[in-house]
Amino acid sequence: MDYVVVGTAGHVDHGKTELVKALTGVDTDRLKEEKERGISIELGFAPLRLPDGRQLGLVDVPGHERFIRQMLAGVAGIDLVLLVVAADEGVMPQTREHLAIIDLLRVPRGILVVTKIDLVEEEWLALVEEEVREAVKGTALEGAPLVKVSAVTGRGIEELRELLARETSRIPPRPASGRVRLPIDRVFSLSGFGTIVTGTLWSGTVHIGSEVEIQPEGIRSRARSLQVHGRPVGQARAGQRVAVNLTGVDVEEIHRGSVLVEPGWWRPARRLDVSLKLLPEALPLKHRQRVRFYLGTTEALGRVALLDRDDLDPGQQAFAQLILEKPVVAAARDRFILRTYSPLETIGGGEVISVNPPRRRRFREEVIQTLQRRMAGTSRDILLSVVGEERDGLSLRKAALRAEIEPKEAHEILSSAEEEGKVVLLPAGEGDLYIVTPASLNRWWEKIREALEAFHRRYPLRAGLPKEELRTRFFPRLDGRTFDGLLEHWKGEGRISVEGNSVHLAGYRPRLDGRQEKALAVLKDRYRQGHFQPPSPEEAAKGLDLAGGELEEVLHYLVRQGVLVKVAEGLYFHREALAEAREAIRRLGEKGAFTLAEVRDLLGSSRKYVLPLLEYLDHIKFTRRVGDKRIVIG
């Protein structure tokens, strides 16, 4: 592997910082307080050049129990750990806590380092070596190589370098082609440069000029310059220790625990599905117990909702949902640590299964099965599980984001699933797709069918329910294009018809009974005879057998049939009269601008009818008002 980050771990004052100095020549205790107290408070970083030319980044983490938070920030993102035990003291409490953290985070590789061997006899050294090997049994470091060194005399340092070269060469590379993600462990500013953040790049590649986003703050910025192990570079790849000089960001806006990411692809979460393991020496964990959550460089308070029990006993593992008090940036398969709220003790950790999931119902077998599939499943299994959890569907982009796969791969999976009848894909805005399961689609259809049947019963003369009313009532989450795609899907199945802006059940036609047919004929004749002074609806319906709201429905029907034109509220013109009026006004307009009075005299009507008629013609852009006159423009 070209880019490897190596971290130290171990009890306070066991020689971690001196070991790093012996390997690299760099003193990582940079703070005045650290110099005075002789312990590491903050993280220290140093580059190490190997004999084969590769360069490692060493992260020196604090060992004192008060600084476990900083230790967690340092261990997050490392590829290999040096577990340091001083020969004169042996395995100590923080040794075991750091070892538990290493095991819970599943650091992929490690080396056991016994330091300060110049202070003890060989017989004592043999006992300490045996103690160390016994301590790591059953952990990720069982079977790890062990080396004995002295930072004072230099004994064993070259052997350790050789071990580092051998062990790091076996570590697979991090995904440089993935989405950029850099948990921030330091934030500072330099005169002439501005705000600088550092961390280990977990995935992706950052270039000078790259647009980046700081989450969960949601701050957009650009990478003005980059350094890797103190050297200016044009790009930084996954696995490297990186310093990023940001543009347009104040140092007070960002904190350790923030994450530098590729814009648009990471959603901060307050809820996580997890697989949780409690340490054997921990006290039982109760449902809804408050804990401290650590992921990468982030710390957050939260509560543990156990999904299949009320208490988790020491050494046991269970599915849970973490409800956090502040948003964090997380991804499936991330490793995390839990500590008690007070006193601060490491009690367990585990693996993130899904980010921003729905609230899970406890003691449900289907919930446990879903989480088991999410943990063990392929990209296809995870993606279909994400889709299945959304009763109202979701966009392909969001589904890919939640399943943490590329949109292209998601599209291929979903296209295949559609052929198998497992999903339905609808067009969406901005070239996206909307995904719905057949179960959700059937549920949607039942609601729409009932709504259309009720509408047809109530308004038997209307063509159908207006499309936009249907969308806003039942599908407010769908944009217009997706809703049109949904209607086309049902239309293709022969369930509905769409005529203009109306939707009706397939085969439905407005029906007139004999009484309504007679009333219709009378209304047509009365409006035709009314000419440029049409009757009001009540005058037109005088003597007709139309009950309740039937008159309005019949008039709407005549408008849809094109017989009448609604010019204003309560005012309808017969289409022949309106056409004749337009032609007369057009001829009048050929002579120039005209007044309302001239139109009134021309049509032999009155202001009562001519004013709303002209306003209607203005609205349809046949005429335009200019001062007190009008001109023909249509």
439-493 pLDDT, tens per residue?
999 999 999 999 999 999 988 888 899 999 999 999 998 999 999 999 999 999 9
Q: Which CATH class is domain 181-261?
A: mainly beta
- Are 181-261 and 377-436 the same fold in CATH? no
| H helix intervals, 136-252 | 157-168
Average pLDDT value over all residues in the chain:
89
Q: Say whether pLDDT at 173 is over 50.
A: yes
Q: Residue written as tokens 């140092």?
A: 251
Q: Helix 467-474 and helix 438-458: axis angle, to 10°?
A: 130
DSSP letter (8 states) at residue 256: B
Q: Say whether pLDDT at 76 is over 80.
A: no
Topology of 377-436 in CATH?
Arc Repressor Mutant, subunit A (1.10.10)
What CATH architecture applies to the domain 269-369? Beta Barrel (2.40)
What CATH architecture applies to the domain 516-632? Orthogonal Bundle (1.10)
Mean local confidence (pLDDT), 299-304: 96
Q: Say whether pLDDT at 43 is over 60.
A: no
375-384, 511-520, 619-628: range with lowest mean pLDDT: 511-520
Mean local confidence (pLDDT), 201-223: 94
Topology of 439-505 in CATH?
Arc Repressor Mutant, subunit A (1.10.10)
Confidence at residue 28, expressed as pLDDT on a 0 to 100 scale: 58
| pLDDT-above-90 percentage for the chain | 64
Confidence at residue 205, expressed as pLDDT on a 0 to 100 scale: 94
Q: Which of 20-29, 322-331, 393-402, 510-519: highest mean pLDDT?
A: 322-331
Query: Quick one: which of 5, 12, 156, 131 has its CA closest to 77?
Result: 5
Q: How confident is the model at residue 37 (pLDDT cuts 50, 70, 90)?
A: very low
Q: What's the farthest any 2 CA atoms get from each other in the chain?
A: 124
Confidence at residue 72, expressed as pLDDT on a 0 to 100 scale: 56
Question: What contacts 133, CB < 8 A, 6 or more positions away?
Answer: 112, 146
237-246, 273-282, 345-354: range with lowest mean pLDDT: 237-246
What CATH architecture applies to the domain 4-168? 3-Layer(aba) Sandwich (3.40)
Q: Where are the domains positioned within the chain?
A: 4-168, 181-261, 269-369, 377-436, 439-505, 516-632
Looking at the annotation, which residues are catalytic? 13, 16-17, 64
Q: List, in sequence order, every beta strand (DSSP E) within 250-396.
A: 259-261, 269-278, 285-286, 289-295, 298-306, 311-312, 317-328, 335-340, 346-355, 394-395
- What does the block give as tokens for 600? 């009134």
Q: Report the distance separating Cα 257 and Cα 216, nearest Å.
A: 9
**Among positive and negative, which fits the CA dihedral 230, 58, 174, 171?**
positive
Mean local confidence (pLDDT), 73-84: 76
pLDDT by residue (tens digit) across 128-157? Answer: 999 999 999 999 999 999 999 999 999 999
pLDDT by residue (tens digit) across 527-579? Answer: 999 999 999 999 999 989 887 678 888 998 999 889 999 999 999 999 999 99
For residues 243 and 223, is the Cβ–Cβ distance under 8 A? no
Confidence at residue 553, expressed as pLDDT on a 0 to 100 scale: 86
Confidence at residue 510, expressed as pLDDT on a 0 to 100 scale: 85
CB-based contacts of 392-396 (< 8 A; 24+ apart in sequence): 392/440, 392/477, 393/426, 393/434, 393/435, 393/436, 393/437, 393/440, 394/434, 394/435, 395/428, 395/432, 395/433, 395/434, 395/435, 396/425, 396/428, 396/432, 396/433, 396/434, 396/435
Cα 28 to Cα 22, 86, 111, 124, 245: the distances in Å are 11, 19, 20, 30, 21
Q: Report the distance separating Cα 470 and Cα 483, nearest Å.
A: 10
Q: How confident is the model at residue 41 (pLDDT cuts 50, 70, 90)?
A: very low
Q: Say whether pLDDT at 29 is over 60.
A: no
Q: Report the distance separating Cα 424 and Cα 616, nearest Å.
A: 44
What's 62-129 look like in SS3?
A: CCCHHHHHHHHHHHCCCCEEEEEEECCCCCCHHHHHHHHHHHHHCCCEEEEEEECHHHCCHHHHHHHH
